[in-house]
Amino acid sequence: MAISIDRLTLGYGDHLVVTDFALDVRPREAVALRGPNGAGKSTLLRCVAGLHAPRAGTVTVAGLPVDERDAGFRRAVVAMLDDVAWYPSLTVREHVDLVRLLNPPDTGAWWDPAEMLDLLALATVADDSPVRLSSGQRQRLTLAMAFARPSRVLLLDEPERHLDAAGRQTVIDLVRAYLDRDGAALIATHDPDLAETCRIVEVTGPEHPRHPR
């Protein structure tokens, strides 16, 4: 199983946002988390990424316990969750190249940085600093960095944010290609077209526990 979540409860202080949640995601499968703002979709993704400790329940990713400090876990999982901190002295191309330099693929069957720049319409701004880009271009760069890094599990929080129709279609195409590389994806999204390419799971908050498998 790529992701296995069993009876997970998450919260902040005295406030619970997810209770008794279960979900299995298989290799070559994408699951879209749908639900209203505040239902716990982003918190759930952060937990699977090892950035939020659960109150109860268990999570395994690629057969590994969730542990952001573990090199094997970090190698298996790529998470696109929060705003990225850019290096102003590095160009767009250098940001993607740096990701690949630090995370070389085990085989040659992965996107190379130049290919990612082309796919995400960033080739014409490849020599610019990210701080000069529009919000949509920065979102495309974040996606390029995520997909350029070899992984087995992809966690995306509203990847369609700031993108036009062409950019949203590119996200759909990339997710499909990622699944073809035996990856699995867990995606929080408000985009109906992206959601329709996935198995949809509703996240309803603590009042209505969910037990999909």
Condensed to tens digits (0 to 9), the pLDDT of residues 177-212 reads 999 999 999 999 999 999 999 999 999 877 554 555
* Residues ≥6 apart with Cβ < 8 Å to 13: none
3-class SS at 121? coil
Chain centroid to CA 71: how far? 18
pLDDT of 208: 52
* Residues ≥6 apart with Cβ < 8 Å to 201: 23, 31, 32, 33, 34, 210, 212
DSSP-assigned states of every residue in 70-92: -HHHHHHEEEE-S-----TTS-H
Q: For all residues of the chain together, what is the average pLDDT?
A: 94
Chain centroid to CA 197: how far? 15
Q: Which of 162, 212, 199 is nearest to 32 (CA)?
A: 199
User: 163: pLDDT confidence band, cut at 50, 70 and 90?
Assistant: very high
Chain centroid to CA 55: how far? 22
CATH ID of 3-202, from 3.40.50.2000, 3.40.50.300, 1.50.10.100, 3.40.50.450 = 3.40.50.300
Q: Which of 161, 158, 157, 116 is nearest to 138 (CA)?
A: 161
Find the mean pLDDT for residues 40-50.
97
Task: Please tell me the distance from the alpha carbon of residue 56 to that of residue 118, in angstroms, as a whole number.
Answer: 43
Q: Where are the domains of the chain?
A: 3-202
Residue 28 and residue 185 in contact, taking contact as beta carbons nearer than 8 Å: no
For 140, counting Cβ atoms within 10 Å of its Cβ (0-12 exposed, 13-18 middle, 19+ buried), the class is buried
Condensed to tens digits (0 to 9), the pLDDT of residues 80-135 reads 998 788 999 999 999 999 999 999 998 768 999 999 999 999 999 999 999 999 99
